[in-house]
Structure 1
Amino acid sequence: MKLKFSPLSLLIILITLCNCQNDDHNSELPHDTAFYIDYRSLNGLPDGIAVIELDPEAPNFGSISSKLELGVGVLPHHLYYNQSANKLYSTALGGSYLYQIKTEKDKNGQPKLVNATPIDTGENTVGENLFFTNDGRYLMTFMGGAGGPKDGSIGVFNANTNQLIKTIKAPIQTNPNQFIMYPHGISVNEEKGIMMVTSTIHPDLTTGMGNTCTLLDLNTYELKETYLVADSPTDMSSPVEVLLLRGKFPQYALATTMLGGDIWTAPYNATTKKYDAFTKLFDGNTLGLGWTLEMYIDDNSRLYVSFADPGKVLVFDISNLPQLKLLKTLTADKGAHHMVFFKTKKGKEVVAVQNNLLNIPNLNSGTISVIEIETGKTLGTVDLRGKYGILPESIEGTNGPSSYMHH
C-alpha cells in the first residue's frame, strides 16, 4: 500500500523531524547555554548581574546580552533559586545584602534582567549563602552578623513574603563550646531536621578566622554541637562550605577548608542524631592545592571540588565514603570557585568554572573556563576582566539551578 502525503503534511513532518534533532542537542530552549553571573566592577562603576553565553560552539560565546546594575560597592555574591525555581535571589557583601531579582524573556526567548528588589535583613550584615526548605522558609548566613569583631548570624525568612522571621545568634563569648561565628556555608537535611553552618573568616579578612562547623536543630534553632574542622584548635583552617549528604547518598557531612586546603568528613550517628567528629579526608597540600572552596555532586555520586590555588577542579567518587576516590583533575584558572554544568549544542557535557575569589591577589583571574568533563579539555575561556572590566563573583543557570546538589 502506498502512503500519500499532501505538501502540508510533508512540511509538518519535516518541521517535527527538525524539532526532534534540536531536542537531541538541547537547543529547543535558546538560553540553555546562557547563564547569570554576579559581578563586581573594576572601574568604579556599579556592580551587578549579567547574562552571558557560555557555549564555546555558539557564535556569541562570551557575549553579555543583558545587565542589571545594583550599585557601587554592592558586591553581589551568590545567586540562588527558590524551591520551585520561579524566584531568583542574589546575596551581597554590601548594599542591602539580599535582593530578589526579576527576570523575563525577550521576543527571542532569551533571558533578560529587569530589576532587583532589596530585602530587609534587619541588623544582619554581609550576606553569604541561602538554603530554601520545603516548608516555606529560607535560611541565610550573615558573615558579619551585627558587625562585632566575633559576630555572625543566621537569618530565617518567609519564602513567600521575604520577611525576616528570626535571627539566630550564638556568640562565642557566651559559650566557647557551642557558637556561631563568621558563618558562610550552610546545608540542611530536612529529613533529619538538622542544619549546619561553617565558621569561616571575619568579613574584613583580618580581624578573625574560624575553624569549626556548628550543627543546629532545623525547627527549634537550638545549637546541638560545634565541631573542630582543623588539625588543632590553633589551626585557623577557615571551613568555607558544608554539605549534608541526603537522600540516596552516604549519610555524611562534608566540609571544605579555605585556608586549610582540605576536605573533611563526619559520619551521621543515628543514635545521637548528630554527626561524629570530623576527620580529614583529603589533604590538598599533598598535591600542591590550596584554598578549597565549592562542592557539587552529580546524580552519579561524583563530587566536584574547586581549589582556587592554583585553579583546579578535582572529581571524586563518593559512593564508598569514607573512602574518597580521585577520578580526574580538571584545570581552570587561579581563583577557581563556583561551577555550572550543561551540554553544548553538540551534546558535549561540560562544566563552566568561575575563576575569582573576592578579588584576592593571585586568586582573581576574572575568567570563566568551559571544560569538557570527559576529556578535561578546555573548550573556551571568557576573559571578563579584559573584555568587560568586571570580575565574576558567582554563576547560575537561567532555566533554574544548574547543578544537581550544591549545599
Structure 2
Amino acid sequence: MLLACSQAPEPAVADFNSEKTQGLVLLSGLPALGTKDSLAIVELDPESAKFGEILYEYELPEFDAPLHHLYYSPSGRLYATGLGTQCSLAEVKLVRSASGAPAVNDVDCLNTHGQVVGEDIMWHAVDGTQYMFVTFMGGTGLDQADGGSVGVFNSQNNELVTIIEARKSVVGEGQPYIMYPHGISAYEDRMVVSSTVHPDLATGVGNAVTVIDLNTFEPIENIITEEAKPVGFPSSPVEVLFVRPSIVAGAQPAVLVNTMFGFETWKIPYNAEAKTFGTPEKLYDGAAAGTGVPLEFYGNEEELFISHAIPGVVKRYSLKDLPDLVSSGEDIQAELGAHHMIFFETASGRKLIAIQNNLLNLGNAQDNDPTDVDFIAKLNDHSVTVHDLITGERLGAVNFKAKFNKGIDNIEALFGSGFVHHH
C-alpha cells in the first residue's frame, strides 16, 4: 500500500531531530565472512562526522533465510517479512530505552498457518475493518510448483483471518489464479497482486497481475503484462501501484506494474464506477532505453521514483501527471541493484535521498558462498548511496560488505520519520 504522510515544516537547525537522518537497515550475514544477520541503525547524513557508522545493532536469530522487507503499520508498529520458512512474517519491537535511545527488544515471528516466503505488506480497510495483507511467494508450501497466497491478518492482534489462495492446478483451466505473489496494492474494494517468480528462482516465472475482490477475498481476474522477453523469461511483474485520488487528487485510477524480467512499466486503466480494468498499456520500455530489472515505486509529495537495478538508476516522474509517466528530472545515478530508498533532510535543510543497491543477498561465488546465484550476485553492490534530491548529485556512499562484511537487504526510515509513499 502507499502510505502518505504530510511533509513536516523545515525545522530550525537548533531544533533538528538527528534521528531523521538515520536509516533502519536489515543486514545479511555472509557465511564465508563469518558474519550474522542483524537489524541496524546507520547514520546517513553526509554532513555528519558519523556518516556511515552503525549507531546501534541488534543481532537477529538464525533463520533458514534472511528477513527481507521492513514495513511500518499506520499505527507505527514495525513488521518484517522473511524469505524463508521459519520466520516468514514478524513483528519487530522497536522501542526506546530508558535513556530515550532507539532499541529493539524482540523479534516476534508470527503464525502464518503454513504460508512461507513473505514479501510485501499492505494495510487496507474493508467495510470499515482494517486488515494487514501479506503476500507469500511460497504460498502454503515450497513443494508447490504453482504456489502462492495472500494472508489476511487482524491488524490489531496479528491473528490470521483467512488465506487467499488459488493455484492454477487446482482452480482449473481459464480460472483466475494466484501464483508467486509479490507486489500488492489496493483501491476501494479491489486489490491487485503480481505474479513474480517461484522462490527457488527456477521452478516457474509469472507474467500476470491478479485482481482480488475484497468483498469476497477471492481472485476474479488475471491481467497479462508482457510483450518482449529481453532475457528469455516471462515478464515477472514485481511491484504494483494502484494510482488513486488519495495519492494524486483527481487522478484517474490505474495500476502501474514494473516487470522485473520484461524491463517494462505498464499501466492498467481502471473504471471505478464499473469496477472494470482496461487493456494494459506499456508506458516504459527498458530494453529500448538501456535499463533492466525495474523494482520499486516510491514517492514524495511531488514526484514518483522508480528504481532500476540495471545499470543502477532511479528514474523520477511528476506525481501530478500519474498514472502517466512524465519525466520530472534527470536519472539519479546509483549502483547495480538499485532497489529501496528513503528520503530525509539534513540539519542545514538539504533534501536527500538514500538508495539501497542490491537485489537479494544470496551470496557471492568469490566468497565460496554456496547460496550464490550468478544473476543475483551481479546485482549486489552491497551499498547505500546518498544523493541530493534536487540535483541527484552523489554526496556519499556506504559499502556494507567492504566496511562490515555484510550485505544490505532493506532500508527504512527510523521510526518512519521520512515522509514517503511506498509501493
Structure exhibiting the larger radius of gyration computed from Cα positions: 1
Q: Distance in 1 between matches of 2:321 and 2:20?
A: 33
1:56 to 46, 58, 76: 46
Structure 2 vs 1, CA of residues 224 and 232 (structure 1 numbering), >3 Å: closer, same or farther? farther
The residue matched to 1:399 in structure 2 has which SS?
helix
Q: 1:24 is matched with which residue?
A: 12
Q: Distance in 1 between matches of 2:192 and 2:154?
A: 19
Q: 1:312 is matched with which residue?
A: 313
The residue matched to 2:401 in structure 1 has which SS?
helix
Residue 107 of structure 1 deviates from its aligned partner by: 5.8
The residue matched to 2:327 in structure 1 has which SS?
strand
The residue matched to 1:319 in structure 2 has which SS?
helix
Q: 2:133 is matched with which residue?
A: 139
Structure 2 vs 1, CA of residues 273 and 265 (structure 1 numbering), >3 Å: closer, same or farther? same
TM-score by length of 2: 0.86
Could you tell me whether the CA contact under 8 Å between 1:26 and 1:32 is conserved in 2?
no
1:263 aligns with 2:274: no
- After superposition, the C-alpha distances for 1:124-152 in whole angstroms (9 at most, x for unaligned) are 01010000124331000000112211100
Structure 2 vs 1, CA of residues 133 and 90 (structure 1 numbering), >3 Å: closer, same or farther? same
Q: 2:365 is matched with which residue?
A: none
Q: How does 1:163-242 map to 2 (within 5 A)?
A: 163-173=159-169, 174-177=171-174, 178-189=176-187, 192-231=188-227, 236-242=234-240
Q: CA RMSD in A?
A: 2.0
- After superposition, the C-alpha distances for 1:266-311 in whole angstroms (9 at most, x for unaligned) are 11113430321221101112221000000012212x2100000110
Residue 236 of structure 1 deviates from its aligned partner by: 0.4
The residue matched to 1:385 in structure 2 has which SS?
helix
- After superposition, the C-alpha distances for 1:76-102 in whole angstroms (9 at most, x for unaligned) are 1110111121x1011110231111111
Q: Distance in 2 between matches of 1:107 and 1:29?
A: 18
Extract unaligned runs of 5+ from structure 2: 1-8, 362-375
The residue matched to 2:331 in structure 1 has which SS?
strand
Q: Distance in 2 between matches of 1:370 and 1:109?
A: 27
Extract unaligned runs of 5+ from structure 1: 1-20
1:123 aligns with 2:121: no
Aligned-pair identity (%): 38
Q: Distance in 2 between matches of 1:127 and 1:405?
A: 21
Residue 110 of structure 1 deviates from its aligned partner by: 3.4
Structure 2 vs 1, CA of residues 179 and 136 (structure 1 numbering), >3 Å: closer, same or farther? same
Structure 2 vs 1, CA of residues 35 and 109 (structure 1 numbering), >3 Å: closer, same or farther? farther
Residue 27 of structure 1 deviates from its aligned partner by: 5.1
The residue matched to 1:219 in structure 2 has which SS?
coil
Q: How does 1:27-106 map to 2 (within 5 A)?
A: 28-42=16-30, 43-72=33-62, 73-85=64-76, 87-94=77-84, 95-106=86-97
Q: 1:371 is matched with which residue?
A: 387
The residue matched to 2:380 in structure 1 has which SS?
coil
Q: Distance in 2 between matches of 1:296 and 1:285?
A: 22
Q: Distance in 2 between matches of 1:343 and 1:205?
A: 38
Q: Distance in 2 between matches of 1:283 and 1:130?
A: 28
TM-score by length of 1: 0.89
Residue 194 of structure 1 deviates from its aligned partner by: 1.3
The one-letter amino acid paired with 2:259 is: T
Could you tell me whether the CA contact under 8 Å between 2:233 and 2:261 is conserved in 1?
no
Q: Distance in 2 between matches of 1:157 and 1:403?
A: 25
Residue 232 of structure 1 deviates from its aligned partner by: 6.7
Task: Tell me whether 283-292 or 106-115 shows the greater mean CA deviation.
Answer: 106-115
Q: Which has the higher contact order (CA 8 A, sep 6+)?
A: 2
Q: Distance in 1 between matches of 2:299 and 2:383?
A: 23
Q: Distance in 2 between matches of 1:398 and 1:207?
A: 37
Structure 2 vs 1, CA of residues 169 and 370 (structure 1 numbering), >3 Å: closer, same or farther? same
Q: Distance in 2 between matches of 1:236 and 1:74?
A: 26
Residue 22 of structure 1 deviates from its aligned partner by: 9.3
Residue 70 of structure 1 deviates from its aligned partner by: 2.2
